[in-house]
Amino acid sequence: MTLRPRRRAVRGALVALLVGVLGLGAAVPAQAASYVAISGSGSTWSQNALDQWRRNVASNYGMTVNFSGTGSSAGRSDFIKGSVDFAVSEIPFQAHPEDGSAPEVSPRSYAYLPVVAGGTSLMYNLKIGGKKVDTLQMSGEVVTRIFAGQITRWNDAAIAADNPGLALPDKEIMPVVRSDGSGSTAQFTKWMATQYPSIWTTPMTSQFPTSKLATYKAQSGSLGVSGYVSQNYGEGSITYVEYSYAMKSGFPVVKVKNAAGNYVEPTAANVEIALRLAKINEDQSSPDYLTQILTDVYNNPDPSAYPMSSYSYMIVPTQTGGVFNESKGYTLGEFVKYIVCEGQKQAGALGYSPLPNNLVAAAFAQIKRIPGSAVGDYNAASCSNAGAAASGTPAAETGSGGTTTAAAGTGTDTAAAAGGDAVYDANGNLISGSSASGGAAVSAPFTLAADSWNAPKTGMLVAALLLLAAILVPPLLLLVRGRRPGR
């Protein structure tokens, strides 16, 4: 008679153990079933950020987002073909492509929304007496003259005027440009054509006009141009590339003179400040509807603003078609919401800039138009994106705005940069910023720890199961002992 209560107790214990195991096992992310895999292609300028965000949503939410960094032009082409669910590009569809190809016309309706903000940096490799220069500064006019082929040597008087006290070498400048159709090229040439039309006489183009240069190197992709400059054979070279790629290579970038007369780097705070004056074309009858207007950004009078600041678009469908359907639209809406809210907190560490709130609000207005999207109106309180209002403190607060008006030099750059931003010397060593605990920059994409299921959490699960077993196993042993003969 005493065995039955024991058996009931043990059965209850086993049920509790099973429930506990299932309950704890449910702690592993199980949201994957609610999301349909989506795919996109396009910008290499934005790829470092997109790859990190894709890893985050995969780990945290079980969301599968595939992205191929084939360049902005290829991304727009894939969207037109209907072979991807979204595209990422620094420029909109081109009605009159400069290569004479057919106009870029999408058979399905679409919208542009801002996703990745950053600065087009001028990464360079220059030495004086065998020591790398890492505090070079230039006016926009000098930059434009270099890429227009008018300044060809590093000791040119115009460069020297921006760098008093620095004995620049009599060495040929090797411009490194993109060989493929590139949003980076489009943004860079747009800035030169807008600001210095008497020097840069051609309009914005995604194919760099190499006929302007007597000597140059052309490389494919952002990794191609930054990779060339970072090599020993790249000494004397300079390229235009998203700041993230210069950071990961551990090479310096030119401090560019802004409208206030300060020489600034494309740090997260400086870019964010500049983009507060970004405007969006809201004329629905315009062929440039929803595209960015950056004239005020280029000429932002704030002493910390970086003049070559811009953002890339995600091109999203506003009707089904091709490989895209409403189920994918739900996933796409949630992914974009993650990017413009939670994802922006990591932008600075990845070498980009958090979108200011004016652009986040603009993004939300378009997310709602995606078929199947369940994203509602923008709410600054619930969208913790780390951006700042038009007149507020930037997400990455600056001390001096990353500005420097002193003479450039060699060796370690000790000029103050944006307070929370990591700053590296010419050899890739971290010298200041939020991560200034040692280490070096390496030529590999930045990654951040994601809040995913990992070894520590597995250990906690095992410990919990062991504790549960310690409580429930003794009654089982008593039952077994009670069944032995003679008991």
Give 134-179 pLDDT, tens digit per residue.
Answer: 999 999 999 999 999 999 999 999 999 999 989 999 999 999 999 9
Q: Looking at 84-193, which runs of residues are DSSP E strands?
A: 86-89, 110-125, 127-128, 131-132, 137-138, 174-178
Average pLDDT value for residue range 6-27: 50
Instruction: Tell me which H or E stretch contains 327.
Output: helix 326-340
pLDDT band at residue 358 under the 50/70/90 scheme = confident
Q: What's phi and psi for 8, nearest 5 deg?
A: -60, -40
Would you say 297 and 117 are in contact if contact means Cβ atoms under 8 Å apart? no
Average pLDDT value for residue range 56-64: 95
pLDDT band at residue 419 under the 50/70/90 scheme = very low
Spatial CA neighbour of 409 closest among 128, 207, 46, 159: 128
Q: Which of 194-198, 269-273, 307-311, 432-436 has the lowest mean pLDDT?
A: 432-436
The token pair that represents 335 in the structure block: 């992914």
SS3 of 117, please?
A: strand
Estimate to the nearest angstrom the gap between the alpha carbon of 76 and the chain centroid: 19
The pLDDT value given to residue 35: 95
Res. 12: pLDDT tops 90: no
Q: What percent of the chain has pLDDT over 90?
A: 59
Count of other CB atoms within 10 angstroms of residue 487: 8
The pLDDT value given to residue 429: 37
Q: How far apart are the first and last CA of the chain?
A: 12
pLDDT band at residue 416 under the 50/70/90 scheme = very low
Question: DSSP letter string over 340-398?
Answer: HTGGGGGTTTTTSBPPPHHHHHHHHHHHTTSTT-------TTT-------TTS--SS--
- Could you tell me the sign of the dihedral formed by the alpha carbons of 231, 236, 241, 246, in that order? positive
Neighbouring residues of 145: CB distance < 8 A, sequence distance ≥ 6? 151, 158, 199
pLDDT digits (tens, 9 = 90+) for 420-471: 444 333 333 333 344 333 333 333 333 343 444 444 445 555 566 777 767 7
The token pair that represents 228 in the structure block: 């060339």
The pLDDT value given to residue 191: 97
The pLDDT value given to residue 356: 86
Res. 110: pLDDT tops 90: yes
Would you say 241 and 222 are in contact if contact means Cβ atoms under 8 Å apart? yes
Average pLDDT over the chain reads 81
Res. 405: pLDDT tops 50: no
Average pLDDT value for residue range 289-301: 93
Burial (CB < 10 A; 0-12, 13-18, 19+), residue 180, is buried
The token pair that represents 106 in the structure block: 């999408």
Average pLDDT value for residue range 389-403: 44
Would you say 67 and 48 are in contact if contact means Cβ atoms under 8 Å apart? no
Q: What one-character DSSP code corresponds to residue 290?
A: T
Res. 13: pLDDT tops 90: no
The pLDDT value given to residue 241: 96
The pLDDT value given to residue 461: 59
The token pair that represents 222 in the structure block: 């952002």
Would you say 289 and 282 are in contact if contact means Cβ atoms under 8 Å apart? yes
The pLDDT value given to residue 101: 80
- Angle formed by the axes of helices 72-81 and 183-195, to 10°? 120
The token pair that represents 182 in the structure block: 């590139």
* Greater pLDDT, 199 or 409: 199
SS3 of 35, please?
A: coil
- Tally the residues of the chain: 487
The token pair that represents 456 in the structure block: 């520590």
The token pair that represents 387 in the structure block: 């951006």
pTM here is 0.71
The pLDDT value given to residue 19: 46
Beta-bridge partner residues of 42: 88
Q: What one-character DSSP code corresponds to residue 1?
A: -
Would you say 230 and 237 are in contact if contact means Cβ atoms under 8 Å apart? no
SS3 of 131, please?
A: strand
Would you say 9 and 477 are in contact if contact means Cβ atoms under 8 Å apart? no
Res. 473: pLDDT tops 50: yes
